[in-house]
Structure formats: structure tokens, C-alpha cells
Amino acid sequence: MSQPATSEPNPKPPALDAQGRERPIFLLAFPSDEKLDELVRAFERGDYRTVRKAAPLLAKEATDPAVQDAASELYRRIQPEPALTYLLALAFGLLFFFVLHAYTH
């Protein structure tokens, strides 16, 4: 049997970048600002060094609270997860222990 037609309109297609790739959803809610747009483009390119340097400055210098929040959000998203940092340190500690144990016994 055929399914009944719905009166709901089709949802909008996701926004695509210049290469036709889908953009992260959270970026679509950011306000329009020239400096913020440069940061967003750097984030999408994977240029996290630029984002790491410029986002805190933009968050301090911007007069619009929405731009400050967006710059802070971009900066937060490129920070490593604290739990993963601890697990990585634990893994290196265990590796050091086992290597030291193997060489001394």
C-alpha cells in the first residue's frame, strides 16, 4: 500500500560549504560578523592554530555578546577533552612502568 501524503513541508537541506560538504550545525546559528566569519572559515579548514590564537582575542574585543559567545564556543570546541588527556597520561605512565620493569628484571 502507498503511504499517505503528509502536509508537512520538506525540511531545509543542510548548509554546504564551498566544496559541497555539510557544515557543522552549530556554525549555522552563529551571528554574522566579519572577524567571526574568518574564524569560522579557519575552523572549517582545520586551521586550529588560527582559531586558538584569534578566538580569545575576539571574545574579549567584540562588543556583541553573541559574537563573544560564538568565539568562545569555537575555542571550546578545539580544546582536548580532559578525560582523554588524563587517559593519555595514564597510558604513557604505564608504558614507562612496563619498559622500566622489563629492563630491570
Segment 41-69, tens digit of pLDDT: 899 889 999 999 999 999 999 999 999 99
Query: What is residue 48's predicted lDDT score, i.e. its pLDDT?
Result: 94
Task: Give pLDDT tens digits for 4-43.
Answer: 555 444 444 347 766 777 788 888 888 888 999 999 989 9
Does residue 39 belong to any structural domain of this protein?
Answer: yes
Question: Rounded to the nearest 5°, which phi and psi values hold at 73?
Answer: -65, -45
User: How many domains does the structure of the chain reveal?
Assistant: 1
Does residue 85 belong to any structural domain of this protein?
Answer: no
Query: What is residue 4's predicted lDDT score, i.e. its pLDDT?
Result: 52
Domain that holds residue 36: 25-79
Q: Show the cell assigned to 3.
A: 503511504
Torsion angle defined by CA atoms of residues 48, 36, 66 and 84, in that order, rounded to the nearest 10 degrees: 0
Angle between helices 65-77 and 34-45 (to 10 degrees): 10
Task: Give pLDDT tens digits for 68-105.
Answer: 999 999 999 999 899 999 999 999 999 999 999 999 98
Q: Which of 63, 42, 41, 67 is nearest to 52 (CA)?
A: 42
Query: What is residue 28's predicted lDDT score, i.e. its pLDDT?
Result: 83
Does residue 74 belong to any structural domain of this protein?
Answer: yes
CB 44 within 8 A of CB 23: yes
Does residue 89 belong to any structural domain of this protein?
Answer: no
Paired residues of 16 in beta bridges? 22
